[in-house]
């Protein structure tokens, strides 16, 4: 129970446990617990057990592949050949892609067992899974609270030990926020470090696939598998991928220069979030880190940029769902006008429509210069500001989010997600890597601390997180 990837792999290789036993354990837990948590949209029980049996009968394959025998869940935004891919929407209900996303191919190459696809905000539009067509997921620490989003199903499934690791995506906090609220590790890589090919696009200049894991060690392990250039994604980077797992070194924290933005502490932080964050700062100082306060651009500008830039890209990306290629499922009419109106009108949720309308307005003639162009100019200023700080410092540190997990009533404000993601948005807009790890509990709920690093320097944020995790420990929920 609650074993990490590396712990399970060790037991598998030593033949202390079989792949089939592992898969059956998780399937039993999903059957028992997911009725109340709603973390999975699809579960592939039969296929998972068959693959596990095949691996148990081929020990060389089990031993040689990095994820052999490991049940992995994937946010239902990744294309999976022949398997449902819904983006938690009605418009894609019944859709089965004819190809795998590059990330899925890489997992399969290492013989990962895809146990199921997890819930999310519809087309990733939201910050608590509350916009999912299949209903919201629940936070396993307190089922009256949200798990965060948009990768909330992945985070909740992992926190409840319904998988060994999960793959999510982040546009501006969608990995780090649910990681913080659910008490797990969430790693958002540098934009272009991991291929977006086969990921149903939300904000094309922002989307970053990344792992949600039970430990920093597992995050490094997974990133090494997922990262790398992809000829199918012209935005993916050709920069060499280091061995993050083998290079993990907690001793590197000694002498590390870390910037602490004053503006982060000036935000209205929940009492426990602030207390646990300051406690983590003290621990890092005792470990030898040199932490200094700095000034950054007001985080509110990150909210403004995200509101315009992301919604503009949403408007463009969702234009493809026009009723001619998707949306026939369940429709009685073959009239193209009727199909367009039914798929666009009924197929999208309220938040989808809201973002499409805002984005379309921002890009429309007479307003593009005033809104979209101005937003991109401010985004560049945010990027320059953060990069200037990182010229002087190894890392930037901050709380992951201002509060513990919210309840449903707190998510009624259409911009609650932007407020929850305020500490992550700027770094996502700048394409920087970031990681959230648990920092403690407040009112019985997890809090998170994040490290933000230089472009393609995931190793440094992993080393810092690894050192802090050794002192604080993992947040383990026993249910």
Please indicate, yes or no, whether residues 206 and 350 belong to a single structural domain of this protein. Answer: no
Number of domains in the chain: 2
Same-domain pairing of 43 and 151: yes
| pLDDT above 60 for 327 | no
Gyration radius from the chain CA atoms: 21
What pLDDT shows up at residue 413? 77
**Is 287 part of a structural domain of the chain?**
no
In a domain, 197, yes or no: yes
Q: Would you say residue 218 lies in a domain?
A: yes
Lowest mean pLDDT among 121-135, 357-371, 419-433: 357-371
Note the pLDDT of residue 417: 83
Largest CA distance in the chain: 69
Q: Are 3 and 217 in contact (CB under 8 A)?
A: no
Q: 38 to each of 133, 200, 307, how far by Cα in Å?
A: 12, 22, 28
Whether 284 maps to a domain, the answer reads no
* 474 CB-side CA count, 13 A: 17
The CATH code of the domain that includes 461 is 3.90.1300.10
Residue 329 and residue 201 share a domain: no
Statement to judge: residues 336 and 403 lie in one domain: no
Which of the pair, 356 or 57, is modelled with greater confidence? 57
Q: Based on the domain organization, do 240 and 349 belong to the same domain?
A: no
**Is residue 477 in some structural domain?**
no
Supply the DSSP symbol for 370. Answer: I
Mean pLDDT over 262-271 rounds to 96
- Helices (H), ranges, 187-299: 216-226, 262-265, 271-286
How far apart are alpha carbons 73 and 362 in whole angstroms?
36
Q: Are residues 47 and 131 in the same domain?
A: yes
Q: Which of 73, 127, 150, 236 is catalytic?
A: 150
Q: Are residues 307 and 448 in the same domain?
A: no
Q: Is 150 a catalytic residue?
A: yes
Same domain? For 366 and 420 the reply is no
Q: pLDDT value at position 349?
A: 87
Residue 25: domain span: 5-258+393-472
In a domain, 273, yes or no: no
Of residues 42, 48, 73, 75, which has the active-site annotation? 75
**At CA 59, angle to CA 55 and CA 60, rounded to 5?**
110
Q: Quick one: 347 and 407 in the same domain?
A: no
pLDDT > 70? residue 254: yes
Asked if residues 277 and 270 have their Cβ atoms less than 8 Å apart, the reply is no
* Strand residues in 335-469 grouped as ranges (E): 395-399, 434-442, 445-452
Reply yes or no on whether the pLDDT at 430 is more than 70: yes
Query: What average pLDDT does range 106-125 have in this prediction?
Result: 97
Q: How confident is the model at residue 300 (pLDDT cuts 50, 70, 90)?
A: very high
Mean pLDDT of the chain: 94
Check whether residue 188 and residue 254 sit in a common domain.
Answer: yes
132 is catalytic: no
Q: Confirm whether 293 is domain-assigned.
A: no
465 labelled catalytic: no
**Residues pairing with 199 in the sheet:** 78
Does the pLDDT at position 197 exceed 80?
yes
Which position among 174, 195, 208, 237 bears the catalytic label?
174
pLDDT category at 46 given cuts 50, 70, 90 is: very high
- Give the domain-ending residue among 376, 402, 429: 376
Does some domain include residue 162? yes
Check whether residue 318 and residue 442 sit in a common domain. no
Q: Same structural domain for residues 414 and 459? A: yes
């Amino acid at each position: 129970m609650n074993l990490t990837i590396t712990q399970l792999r060790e037991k598998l290789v030593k033949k202390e446990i079989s792949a089939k036993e592992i898969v059956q354990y998780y399937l039993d837990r999903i059957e028992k617990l997911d009725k109340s948590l709603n973390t999975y949209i699809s579960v592939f029980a039969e296929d998972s057990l068959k693959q596990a049996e095949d691996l148990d009968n081929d020990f060389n394959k089990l031993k040689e592949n990095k994820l052999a025998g490991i049940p992995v869940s994937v946010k239902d935004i990744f294309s999976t050949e022949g398997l449902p891919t819904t983006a938690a929407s009605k418009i894609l209900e019944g859709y089965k892609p004819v190809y795998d996303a590059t990330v899925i191919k890489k997992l399969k190459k290492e013989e990962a067992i895809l146990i199921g696809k997890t819930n999310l905000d519809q087309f990733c539009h939201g910050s608590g899974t509350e916009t999912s067509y299949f209903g919201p997921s629940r936070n396993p620490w307190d089922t009256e609270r949200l798990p965060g989003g948009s990768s909330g199903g992945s985070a909740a499934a992992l926190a409840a030990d319904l998988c060994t690791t999960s793959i999510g995506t982040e546009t501006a906090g969608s990995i780090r926020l649910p990681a913080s609220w659910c008490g797990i590790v969430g790693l958002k890589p540098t934009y272009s470090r991991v291929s977006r090919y086969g990921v149903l696009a939300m904000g094309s200049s922002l989307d970053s696939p990344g792992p949600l894991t039970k430990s920093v060690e597992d995050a490094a392990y997974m990133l090494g598998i997922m990262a790398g250039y992809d000829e199918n994604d012209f935005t993916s980077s050709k920069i060499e991928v280091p061995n993050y797992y083998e290079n993990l070194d907690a001793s590197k924290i000694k002498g590390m220069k870390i910037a602490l933005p004053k503006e982060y502490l000036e935000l209205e932080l929940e009492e426990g979030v602030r207390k646990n964050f300051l406690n983590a700062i003290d621990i890092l100082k005792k470990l030898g880190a040199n932490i200094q306060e700095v000034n950054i651009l007001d985080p509110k500008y990150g909210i403004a940029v995200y509101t315009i830039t992301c919604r503009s890209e949403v408007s463009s990306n969702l234009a493809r769902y026009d009723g001619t290629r998707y949306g026939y499922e369940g429709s009685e009419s073959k009239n193209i006008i009727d199909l367009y109106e039914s798929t666009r009108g009924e197929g999208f949720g309220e938040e989808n429509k809201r973002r499409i309308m805002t984005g379309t307005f921002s890009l429309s003639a007479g307003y593009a210069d005033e809104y979209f162009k101005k937003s991109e100019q401010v985004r560049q200023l945010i990027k320059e500001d953060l990069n200037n700080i990182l010229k002087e410092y190894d890392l930037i540190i901050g709380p992951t989010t201002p509060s513990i997990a919210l309840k449903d009533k707190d998510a009624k404000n259409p911009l609650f997600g932007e407020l929850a993601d305020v500490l992550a948005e700027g770094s996502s807009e700048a394409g920087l890597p970031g990681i959230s790890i648990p920092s403690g509990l407040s009112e019985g709920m997890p809090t998170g601390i994040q490290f933000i690093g230089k472009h393609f320097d995931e190793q440094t944020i992993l080393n810092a997180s690894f050192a802090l995790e050794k002192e604080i420990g993992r947040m383990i929920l026993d249910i």
